[in-house]
Amino acid sequence: MTAALWLLVALQSASPPDVTAQVDRARVPAGEELTLTIRARSRSADPVAVALPGLTGFTIVGSREVTEVALEEVGGPVRTITRELRLKTQRPRARS
């Protein structure tokens, strides 16, 4: 499942963001749901775009995205984008 969680983060600024991804469960039976949370933090006011690869074996059943920009005295703005995806595992297809 870890391989399915690779992320491609495209930035319009020169400095790369700090990106984390986590799931709320380590094991998920077929047909059950889990939540994938991706957080990207950048020291730039420029927007951060988070693009996901195909999530083979999962169906997206819900999503939520929040962007925060904090203005710090030292270091300038900090932009944080958090994307939560509710994923449902697909049942394996029977072989003919």
Tokens of 82: 């958090």
- Tell me the per-residue pLDDT of 78-90, one tens digit each, with 9 for 90 and over: 889 999 999 999 8
Three-state SS string across the chain, please?
A: CHHHHCCEEEECCCCCCEEEEEECCCCCCCCCEEEEEEEEEECCCCCEEEECCCCCCEEEEEEEEEEEEEEECCCEEEEEEEEEEEEEECCCCCCC
Q: Let me know if residue 96 belongs to a domain.
A: no
Using a cut of 0.75, tell me whether the model's pTM lies above it: no
51: left (phi over 0), alpha (psi -120 to 50) or beta: beta
Q: Let me know if residue 95 belongs to a domain.
A: no
Q: Let me know if residue 94 belongs to a domain.
A: no
- Tell me the per-residue pLDDT of 1-60, one tens digit each, with 9 for 90 and over: 443 333 444 334 457 888 999 999 999 898 999 999 999 998 877 777 788 878 888 999
Q: Quote the number of domains for the chain.
A: 1
Q: Which domain holds residue 40?
A: 2-89
Q: Let me know if residue 72 belongs to a domain.
A: yes
14: left (phi over 0), alpha (psi -120 to 50) or beta: alpha
pLDDT of residue 63: 94
